[in-house]
Amino acid sequence: MRMCVGCREMKEKRELIRIVRTPEGETLIDPGGKKSGRGAYVCRNPECLKRAIKQKQLERQLQVSLTEEVSQALIAEMNRLSEMKLPEAEGEPGT
């Protein structure tokens, strides 16, 4: 279980999206959760991301200073991701 930095609820990792600060200093959404760097988790919900940015929780967690431009890019990406369906877990029996 991981905590969303927006609403601070504990959720399953697959319900959350990882945001990473790469070693190069970029702040990106990392849907695969595979990139190296310091990470923070938010719900698959643009509202949680907006809240995390507004309340500086994301900056605190990633120890980074987010510009308006980067913030807007992250929100746009989250809007796109939130419209997609959750990936089916491979190898699990169907319901």
Residues that bind Zn ion (CB under 5 A): 4, 6-7, 43, 48
Q: How far apart are CA 36 and CA 20, in angstroms?
A: 8
Tell me the one-letter amino acid at 4. C
End-to-end CA distance of the chain: 23
Query: Toward Zn ion, which CB reaches closer, 4 or 40?
Result: 4
Q: How far is the CB of 40 from Zn ion (least distance, A)?
A: 11
Min CB(43)–Zn ion separation in Å = 3
Nearer to Zn ion, 5 or 64 (CB): 5
Looking at residue 14, the DSSP 8-state letter turns out to be G
Rounded distance between C-alpha atoms, residue 10 and residue 65, angstroms: 25
- Closest contact distance (angstroms) between CB of 11 and Zn ion is 7
